Structure 1
């Protein structure tokens, strides 16, 4: 049966998760009215009725959409299910997963090192898998009067965010923007003042794509040494909106909300604008560190370092961290069912909320890994 998610269904999600989502930082959720064909869903809706998860706030709106879709599908199949997701941050999600306080975690980076070893113990001696379910493009958003089409590259961005380029009419920027009148004005970088997966991914991008111009390293805290700080994605985007001459890195949805101009990125094959299609092209070319194992940890260099024509390279991936085996039967069935729905019909609404739906190349691998969860 085809139907639209009703207000009652969306209300159930909101009420069931109200206490949890109150601690989330940014909210850019869109209305959700996509028609769901529950008969075509591969979700079994079996297993325990309530799933719990926590972690990345970057994927919070995607998880809300996934939960809404899953509830709608399972309700139509005569099953009463709930999904509670707490956007408490990637680090907290991984910690709660290891402590068996939640069924799976959302994380802006793959679990590794000592945490991976601890997760293996939590999973009864089995590996935890990193499953990239949500991709969000990161915009280079700026406020520069009279300049609607700006092109930058990894090297110029690295120098802007480390203090090596301080004026908008710097020769390195001018060389990328032939015919554009660039003002002789200071550049005001706006950066995240709080720890952020977006910051970590941006700095990893600079490390990969700047040709050695970025030497600061990466991490969840901004290490460039310049700029004015603002808290959260909403904070940096609002700061740029109110500060002529400023520039930031922020999820596309927040740039759109604040009507900010977005720079094109030249990866060496010509300027590429940020769109669903160009970001999807970069994701399609992604490779995985542990091919053939079920774990889908991404080789981020394959995205950040792409020179594929028409591919936008600055994309944040968020993972669901799950036990490959070691769940009890009811939890295993529920985790597999929810993730099957999220990787399938759940992708339909993501573009409207600023995310990039999974390309087929990634979706096929993800679906196979989900099916292999024991």
Structure 2
């Protein structure tokens, strides 16, 4: 999403309000007229407390976190954050083990896996909150010589990633790409080896959109059973970009950095290119299903959407924090960092490949941050 280099692909700084305004809920949903919160310096930040915070997790948000750190250091001189982009699974584990001050994950804590209970124990008997701070679409990035315009749908994508379709000139792919010259070449799937919220979201999309072709289920571990495994978002994008015939699922900025072509998705209403308008239209139906200040988004409704012109493969990245249970110095610093991230830290997000928060969503997030104790 490097918008200066890829303005034709995603002008998200202009569309941030539209895109994330749609990330509303049935409860106090941001209105269609919400404006971007980028650069809002009017929100007070109480600097101080722990001088160097630690966090770990999602590699999908690492460039956003780097932007937030710069803004934090500028706003609170002498303060810093060390972020280890080890993947969502590791981030949740390290947070729950009390090894880092907050975790980063591309999916919220799972109750069925015991993550919610473990987080409450880590937070001294208090619930952890999932705070969505970073948003962006996931690209189906591929490298295929001579093919720069490719259409896929949920069913065909599922069969590619579970081994049901093995050749680029398979009749099912050809049917979606009338007139295209598709080579008789093996499809080389590249997937995340580490536990990843990107993988979880991708597999949830396949479950919803594949008309039964994906039976492997979801989760942070890839379950397709085919392909080459690589660590982190940068790893899969680099691997796919180095081999003709490769395809992977990865955040847009990583796909662009490695010069991958981007497949259009046909959700049943025609091919949809990944653009600011199509991302905004897809996320329009997202609601917040969490209660109170636990801002868990419900994205399931859009994965299987057949709305014309909607790009349905999206990702929200959460910061996982204790609602209570920090020592005073840590609580103060965590609140300061997240406040900066949600306000002046938004300035550089478009250049880093993400969407700035709109004002109404920022207000909801800041309410939660202020309540951390």
> TM-score w.r.t. structure 2 length?
0.80
C-alpha distance 47-109 of structure 1, shift in aligned 2 (>3 A): same
Do structure 1's residue 73 and structure 2's residue 72 form an aligned pair? no
Maintained 8 Å contact 2:40/2:343:
no
Relative to structure 1, the CA distance from residue 348 to residue 305 in structure 2 (aligned partners, 3 Å threshold; closer, same or farther) is farther
Distance 1:60 1:122 in 2: 24
Cross-structure match for 1:89: 87
Output the CA distance in 2 between the equivalents of 1:232 and 1:85: 14
Pairs within 5 Å for 1:214-293: 214-290=214-290, 292-293=291-292
Matched, 1:55 2:54: no
1:339 is displaced (CA, Å) by 0.9
Aligned-residue offset at 1:52: 2.4
Q: What SS does the aligned partner of 1:265 have?
A: strand
- Residue 333 of structure 1 corresponds to which residue in structure 2? 332
| Contact residue 200 and residue 220 of structure 1 kept, 8 A | yes
- The 1-side partners of 2:167 and 2:176 are apart by 14
Kindly report which structure 2 residues correspond to 1:88-107, keeping only aligned pairs within 5 A, or say none.
88-107=86-105
CA contact (8 A) 1:280 1:359 kept: no
Residue in 2 that maps onto 1:201: 201
Report if aligned partners of 2:89, 2:196 keep a CA contact under 8 Å in 1.
no
Cα pair 2:129 2:295 within 8 Å, conserved: yes
- Higher relative contact order, structure no. (Cα contacts within 8 Å, ≥ 6 residues apart): 2
Q: Distance in 1 between matches of 2:323 and 2:284?
A: 24
For the Cα contact (< 8 Å) 2:39–2:347, is it kept in 1? no
Distance 1:324 1:192, change over 3 A: closer
- 2:260 and 2:208 mapped to 1: Cα distance? 26
User: Is the 1:138–1:252 Cα contact (8 Å) retained in structure 2?
Assistant: yes
Q: 1:191 to 1:132 in 2, by over 3 A?
A: same
The corresponding residue for 2:350 is 351
| 1:249–1:118 distance in 2 versus 1, CA, 3 Å | closer
Deviations 1:106-145 (A, max 9, x none): 1222123323123223323321111111123221111222
In the TM superposition, structure 1's runs of 4+ consecutive aligned residues that sit over 6 Å from their partners are none
Q: Using the alignment, how far apart are the partners of 1:53 and 1:362 within structure 2?
A: 23
Q: Give 3-state SS (helix, strand or coil) of 2:91's partner.
A: helix
Query: What secondary structure sits across from 1:40 in the alignment?
Result: coil
Alignment gaps of 5+ in structure 2: 1-37
Deviations 1:213-247 (A, max 9, x none): 10011233322122233444333333333332222
Superposed displacement of residue 157, structure 1: 0.1
Q: Once the 2 structures are TM-superposed, how far is the Cα of residue 65 of structure 1 from its aligned partner?
A: 0.9
Q: Please, what is the CA RMSD of the aligned residues?
A: 2.6
**Among residues 45, 48, 55, which one is paired with 1:43 in the alignment?**
45
Following TM superposition, by how much is the alpha carbon of 1:277 offset from its aligned partner in structure 2, in angstroms? 4.7
State the alpha-carbon separation in 2 of the partners of residues 95 and 356 from structure 1: 27
Describe the shift of the 1:263–1:54 C-alpha distance in structure 2 as closer, same or farther (beyond 3 A): same
Query: Contact between 2:126 and 2:323, CA under 8 Å: does it hold in 1?
Result: yes
Equivalent positions of 1:84-233 (< 5 A) are: 84-113=82-111, 114-233=114-233
Cα pair distance change 1:134/1:371, threshold 3 Å? same
State TM-score, norm by structure 1.
0.80
Whether the 8 Å CA contact 1:110–1:319 is kept in 2: the answer is yes
Unaligned runs of 5+ in 1: 1-35
How far off is 1:361 after superposition? Answer: 5.7
User: Within 1, Cα distance between the matches of 2:131 and 2:39?
Assistant: 25
How far did residue 85 of structure 1 move? 2.0
Q: Measure the CA separation in 2 of the matches of 1:174 and 1:362.
A: 42
